[in-house]
Amino acid sequence: MELEDIFSSRLRMKTLKLLDKMHELNVSEIAHRLGVNYGVATKHLKVLEEEGIIQHKMFGRICLYRLNENSLKTKAIQNLIDVWEHANKQKTAAP
Amino acid sequence: MSYYRSLFKDETKLDINYIPYALPHRESELRLLKEFFSFALQSPEKMTQRVIITGDVGTGKTALSQRFGAEITHEAAKRSVNLYYVHVNCREYRGSLFLILQHAVSVFHPNFPKRGYSAEELLGMLMQMLDEEKAHIILTLDEFESLVENEGNEAVYKITRLPETRPDKPQRLSLICIMRELKVIERLDASTRSSLQSNIIGLQKYSKKQLVDILATRADLAFKPSAVPEDTLEMIAENAFSENGNARFGIELLWRAGKYANADEQYTVTAECVRKAVSSIVPAMRRSDLESLSLNEKLFLLGVARIFKQNKNASVTLAEAERTYAIVCEEFNTSPVSHTQLWKYLRGLTGSGILKAEVIATGTRGRSTIVSLPRIPASELEKELDNLLENEKT
């Protein structure tokens, strides 16, 4: 998958920002926070997982998703989010 | 312009959630608790432990357990042992096993969903998390009564018999159950009871002297030097002792007395500050109690109130109280009653809890009676008595 395939999807970027902030969440909670239904959330999560950017862990019936800390792509995305948000804060704080 | 001057150095040291480094008069119990769990530092996967801590309110059950938790996790970290201590107050979680386990799970996965599974499944998930982390958890169930009351036998059975359900796997979960009385577990069936009852640490009620030590230790941490005189500590300890040896009550009283001392811009925490603190916690004086006293009892009490209003000491001799009573009698144009009669009044007033009397040895000169006003602020008592005596005159 190409970089633009990830970045062109608003929901995928929101999912990544959400997992970066919350560390890990189950599918229903991700869907709730994104304001989409379970199926839509699952579809995007699957794409991100296939790309190795996120991973899941099962506890009984509960499926928790988190960023894959071992992936270089994930590290690059986390870095981008950090820099972007820091720059936004500076812009807001500037007189 | 006035500057705020506080007698406190660090009042958080008197907070209910503060875990003191030193637990006076609980040293041997702490050592015993560490002994019970010594395996957790050496071979945590090989066994599990269940310990009961019992004792009345304010005997240091929670503090003991939390101090132990802090020390064992510190020691485990030094030895690179993956050990967690999780303290849960069952009452705060409405005695629900589900909510208690959810709290334990949140230690490993803070955003774990709150719904969609049973307590039994959650216990399985907790074990999976512990297996994955290769961790051992000491789960303390404080106010265990609440869990037994709400869930009954089955929930307690599930967690206490857990090791037997996974015989070939590493052991992961140990328990400390804190309760006031052992009779709580009489409700459980024989096998659950037997799995719990093997190690019991019973905490005895603190003596007055022990309470003084505990309060002195906390006062050193919380107040500036010399802010709390010895007789103030004695007075607070006396109050805590009469509240069934409740150290927590004493510590709260110390904090509150400090607040009154600050508000009154005192240089030390005086006996009067303690009286104000006591009367703010417990309704120490009912007007009807004073109304039912005879004229001479009221006059005697008024004399005592006046002494303590002017005097920062926690107690006076009966002789001094008697002299002041004689002056009050003059003021009200009444003859003072005999010493023997005054003794009877004193006994009545101590019986109703308004005054406290103690006979002490005074060296070679025999014995002396010491009178104190343990609960009611002297200024408040004087005001009440003045009003009552004024009404009687008219």
Q: Which of B269, B265, B271 is nearest to B5 (CA)?
A: B265
Nearest CB to A60; choose among B110, B111, B121? B121
Distance CA B91, CA B47 (A): 28
C-alpha distance from residue B78 to each of A62, B81, B274 (Å): 34, 8, 44
pLDDT at B102 over 90: yes
Distance CA A84, CA B18 (A): 41
- Decide the pairing of beta strands B367-372 and A24-26: unpaired
Query: Where does residue A2 rank: exposed (0-12), middle (13-18), buried (19+ CB within 10 A)?
Result: exposed
Residues B153 and B122 both lie in one domain: yes
Distance CA B270, CA B272 (A): 5
pLDDT at B154: 86
Query: Are the C-beta atoms of B14 and B251 separated by less than 8 Å?
Result: yes
- Does B113 sit within 8 Å of A59, measured CB to CB? no
Which of B281, B298, B318 delimits the end of a domain?
A: B281
Just give the CATH number of A3-93.
1.10.10.10
Q: What is the CA radius of gyration of chain A?
A: 14
Model pLDDT for residues B18-69, shown as the tens digit of each residue = 999 999 999 999 999 999 999 999 988 888 899 999 999 899 999 999 999 9
Nearest CB to A61; choose among B117, B128, B129? B117
A10-22 and A38-50 helices cross at what angle (nearest 10)?
80
CATH number for the domain harbouring residue B269? 1.10.8.60
Residues B55 and B162 both lie in one domain: yes
Residue B11 inside a domain? The answer is no
Model pLDDT for residues A47-77, shown as the tens digit of each residue = 999 999 999 999 988 899 999 999 999 999 9
Residues B170 and B211 both lie in one domain: no
pLDDT at B311 over 50: yes
Model pLDDT for residues B205-235, shown as the tens digit of each residue = 999 999 999 999 999 999 999 999 999 999 9
Of the candidate ranges B83-87, B230-234, B283-287, the one whose mean pLDDT is the lowest = B283-287
> How many domains, in total, are found in chain B?
3
Model pLDDT for residues B258-272, shown as the tens digit of each residue = 999 999 999 999 999
Residue B265 inside a domain? The answer is yes
Q: Quote ipTM for the complex.
A: 0.83
pLDDT at B165: 81
Query: Are the C-beta atoms of B87 and B236 separated by less than 8 Å?
Result: no
CB pairs under 8 A between A and B: 34
Compute the nearest-CA separation of A60 from chain B (Å).
6
- Does A60 sit within 8 Å of B111, measured CB to CB? no
Distance CA B315, CA B271 (A): 9
pLDDT at B1 over 50: no
Nearest CB to A29; choose among B110, B113, B117? B113
Residues B49 and B195 both lie in one domain: yes
Query: Which pair of structure tokens corresponds to residue A31?
Result: 């869907």
Query: Which pair of structure tokens corresponds to residue B37?
Result: 């769990």
Q: Look at B59 and B116; give whichever has higher pLDDT.
A: B59
C-alpha distance from residue B15 to each of B63, B92, B119, B252, B256 (Å): 12, 18, 33, 8, 11
Which of B215, B248, B281 delimits the end of a domain?
A: B281
When pLDDT is cut at 50, 70 and 90, the band that residue B242 belongs to is confident
pLDDT at A86 over 70: yes
- Does A60 sit within 8 Å of B113, measured CB to CB? no
Model pLDDT for residues B184-194, shown as the tens digit of each residue = 888 888 888 88
Residues B74 and B197 both lie in one domain: yes
Residues B305 and B328 both lie in one domain: yes
Residue B223 is given by DSSP the state B
Q: Which of B247, B320, B354, B345 is nearest to B14 (CA)?
A: B247
Model pLDDT for residues B346-376, shown as the tens digit of each residue = 988 887 778 888 888 877 668 889 999 887 8
Query: Are the C-beta atoms of B197 and B185 separated by less than 8 Å?
Result: yes
Average pLDDT of the residues in B236-248: 91
Query: Are the C-beta atoms of B200 and B36 separated by less than 8 Å?
Result: no
Residues B59 and B168 both lie in one domain: yes
Residues B65 and B141 both lie in one domain: yes
**Rounded mean pLDDT of chain A?**
92
Compute the nearest-CA separation of A33 from chain B (Å).
13
Nearest CB to B117; choose among A24, A29, A60? A60
| Residue found by looking up tokens 């010399």 in the block | B226
Q: Which of B1, B6, B2, B11 is nearest to B266 (CA)?
A: B6
Q: For residue A21, which residues of chain B lie inside 8 Å, CB to CB?
A: none
Residues B114 and B84 both lie in one domain: yes
Compute the nearest-CA separation of B106 from chain A (Å).
12
User: Which residue range forms the structural domain that includes residue B379?
Assistant: 287-393
Could you tell me which chain B residue has the CA closest to the CA of A26? B113
Q: What is the CA radius of gyration of chain B?
A: 27
Which of B203, B226, B251 delimits the end of a domain?
A: B203
φ, ψ dihedrals at B352, nearest 5°: -85, 0
When pLDDT is cut at 50, 70 and 90, the band that residue B99 belongs to is very high
Residue B9 inside a domain? The answer is no
Q: For residue B109, which residues of chain A lie inside 8 Å, CB to CB?
A: 24, 59, 64
pLDDT at B273: 94
pLDDT at B285 over 80: no
pLDDT at B345 over 80: yes
pLDDT > 70 fraction of chain A, expressed in percent and rounded: 100
Residue B14 inside a domain? The answer is no
Helix (H, G, I), strand (E, B) or coil at B128: helix
CATH number for the domain harbouring residue B152? 3.40.50.300
Please tell me the pTM assigned to this model: 0.77
Residues B277 and B188 both lie in one domain: no
| Interface test with chain A among B101, B102, B109, by most A beta carbons within 10 Å | B109
Compute the nearest-CA separation of A95 from chain B (Å).
36
pLDDT at B74 over 60: yes
**Rounded mean pLDDT of chain B?**
90
Residues B190 and B338 both lie in one domain: no
Residues B187 and B235 both lie in one domain: no
pLDDT at B3: 59
Distance CA A53, CA A73 (A): 6
